[in-house]
Amino acid sequence: MSGTTNKNDFVGAVVKSTAGRDRKRVFLVVGAEGNAQDMRLLIADGRLHTVSSPKKKNPSHILVIGSVSDDETERIEELSDEDVEKLVKRYDDGGCR
């Protein structure tokens, strides 16, 4: 991603991990922290990585494969782990689980 990418550009994106132990798994971006040089995305799958305890991931180690609706993005902090798991399953093609 470019250095001018805004943190909020990622929130609500459905992503697939391309590196690490979680490679090929699908997640929902629920937040971001840091500045453009050392940003970390906060990703959740509703199971192992919950909304209340998301995984931190380098943006260069993910691939955006979709996004949730604007309504869902606006209330992303209110989504339950079950909601996140359902969203993720819509995009999961049977990768590692």
pLDDT digits (tens, 9 = 90+) for 49-72: 999 999 999 999 999 999 888 887
The pLDDT value given to residue 94? 59
Here the contacts of 74-79 (C-beta below 8 Å, separation 24 or greater) are 76/11, 76/12, 76/28, 76/30, 76/31, 77/30, 77/51, 79/28, 79/30, 79/51
Higher per-residue pLDDT: 2 or 33: 33
Q: Please, are residues 10 and 38 in contact by the beta-carbon 8 Å criterion?
A: no
pLDDT digits (tens, 9 = 90+) for 74-83: 888 888 999 9
The pLDDT value given to residue 92? 83
Percent of the chain scored above 90 by pLDDT?
A: 62
Q: Can you tell me the distance from the alpha carbon of 3 to that of 48, in angstroms, rounded to the nearest whole number?
A: 30
CATH topology classification for 7-91: SH3 type barrels. (2.30.30)
Residue 19 has pLDDT above 70, yes or no: yes
Query: Would you list the domain boundaries of the chain?
Result: 7-91
